[in-house]
Structure 1
Amino acid sequence: MNRQQTALAKRAQIIALHEVGLSSRVIAQRLAVSRTTVQKWIHRNEETGNLNDLERRPRPRLTSREDEANIRRAVLEDPFTNAVAITERLHLNVTPQTVRKRLKEAGIRHRIPAQRSV
Structure 2
Amino acid sequence: MPRLNETDRCRAVGMIEAGVRHTDVAIQFGVHRNTVDALCRRYQQFGTTRDRPRSGRPRITSNRQDTYIRVVHLRERLRTATLTARNIPGLRRISPRTVRNRLRERGIRPRRPAIRPVLQQRHRVARFA
TM superposition score normalised by structure 2 = 0.46
* Bigger CA radius of gyration: 2
TM superposition score normalised by structure 1 = 0.50
